[in-house]
Amino acid sequence: MKLGGNFFEDLGPGQLLRNPVPRTLGEGDRSLYIALTGDRNPRNCSDEFARSLGFERAPLHDLLVFHIVFGRTVGEISLNSPGNLGYADLRFLRPVFPGDTLRAETETLGWRETSKGDTGVVWVRTTGFNQRDEHVLQFYRWVMVNKRDPGTPTVADDAPEMPAEAGRAHLAHLPYPRIARFDASATGGSAFWEDYEPGERLAHPQGMTIEEAEHQMATRLYQHTARVHFNQHQQQASRHGRRIVYGGHIISVAHALSFDGLENVVGMAAWNGGSHTNPTFAGDTLFAWTDVLERIDIGRDDLGALRLRLVAVKNADPSKEALPLKVTGEDGRERYAPNVVLDLDYIALIPKRAVAV
């Protein structure tokens, strides 16, 4: 990596980067994540509840693990990025606990210069490992990266095809212990795997305003150093004239809001794909809804999976008004509505009713 980070010209396909810096996670990381996102899932904050699920103690939140692995990659991939564009085939492969040390490796897959010529899109695949070199997480993402020399065309036009959805073979082999009994009094939820129907929409009732200090601290927690989130002096000259909230923070807040209605979910298994559809800024208030897309039997009598679509919107409450996901512009093209900031298609794990007590 060059001093000041890589630019688009430095990130041609075929590179394998061992991303610095390894990070040992502790209980403080868990507490700060809860403080910054409002997460309430007892699997992630109650050792006693986690033991009732078969764990020795409470695992760290899946999204905290994602953010830490993502943060390892920023210095070499997206330090000079105006924004991450999307994700594909993200798989959570094993739980992570306090005391585990995570590192990451990233392979560059393709690149394409944008029509304006001042930026390009880079496609990468990242794998996260623990201290035993076990795979804990893997994902594809594509990110817009500034060019070092906007005036010199690169003619880069090598965009790889991304997986349409996450592979499901690993769902039956996830190292999740068998759930002998599930006490829903700890979650406050009454709905289990069998109770969710494809086509159902859950309009989550709470909203959360993103404060400047909170999103800055959250992004620092992950050691995510992209200038677009921190450097107001630089961002004054950008298209928006201000810092953009890290899209991963939007995912975490929206997921925390979705607890109301999905209380008994015990973890994420995969993302089929996701997009940050519009920027979020400090002062915006986030709301969320979830569409149930599919009920998936993973071959266990205690645990099933749901394919869910989590949509986050800013400054509009979907529990009180019907909000469109997409709109048609004057040019006849369909695009995301301007207040939609996240569209995430993911697979969640949830107990079956047979283990309810």
Task: Give pLDDT, residue 228.
Answer: 86
Q: Does the structure show a pLDDT above 70 at 298?
A: yes
Alpha carbon distance 314, 323 (integer Å): 11
**pLDDT band, residue 192 (cuts 50/70/90):** very high
Smallest CA-to-CA distance from 171 within 305, 43, 59 is with: 305
Alpha helix ranges (H) inside the chain: 27-37, 47-52, 62-77, 212-221, 227-230, 232-235, 247-257
Alpha carbon distance 122, 12 (integer Å): 8
Question: Residue ranges of the domains in the chain?
Answer: 8-153+177-355
Single-letter amino acid code for the residue at 344: L
- Architecture of the 8-153+177-355 domain: Roll (3.10)
Please check whether residue 229 is in contact with residue 245, taking contact to mean a CB–CB distance below 8 angstroms. yes
Residues 6+ apart with CB under 8 A from 269: 91, 92, 170, 171, 174, 305, 347, 348, 349
Mean pLDDT of the chain: 95
- Phi then psi dihedrals of residue 333, to 5 deg: -90, 140
Pick the residue with more confidence: 235 or 305? 305
SS3 state of residue 320? coil
Report the largest interatomic distance among the alpha carbons of the chain, rounded to a whole angstrom.
66
pLDDT tens per residue, range 168-188: 888 988 889 999 999 999 999
- Predicted TM-score (pTM) of the model is 0.95
